[in-house]
Amino acid sequence: MPRMENLEQHGIVVQTKVSYLPDQSDESADRFVFSYTITISNLGTQTAQLISRHWIITDAYNHVQEVRGQGVVGEQPILKPKQSFEYSSGTVLATQVGTMKGSYLFRSDDGTEFSAEIAQFILSVPRVLH
Q: Is residue 129 part of a domain?
A: no
Does pLDDT of 56 surpass 50? yes
Look at the chain and report how many structural domains it folds into. 1
Q: Is residue 83 part of a domain?
A: yes
The whole domain housing 70 covers: 12-124
Q: Is residue 6 part of a domain?
A: no
Q: Is residue 1 part of a domain?
A: no
Does pLDDT of 71 surpass 50? yes
Mean pLDDT across the stretch 36-64? Answer: 96
| Position 2 confidence tier, pLDDT thresholds 50, 70, 90 | very low
Please tell me the predicted confidence (pLDDT) of residue 4: 41
SS (H, E, C) the chain: CCECCCCCCCCEEEEEEEEECCCCCEHHHCEEEEEEEEEEEECCCCCEEEEEEEEEEEECCCCEEEEEEECECCECCEECCCCEEEEEEEEEECCCEEEEEEEEEEEECCCCEEEEEEEEEEEECCCCCC
Percent residues over pLDDT 70 in the chain: 92
Which CATH number does the domain housing residue 78 bear?
A: 2.60.40.1470
pTM value surpassing 0.85:
yes
Q: Is residue 51 part of a domain?
A: yes
Mean pLDDT across the stretch 59-72? Answer: 97
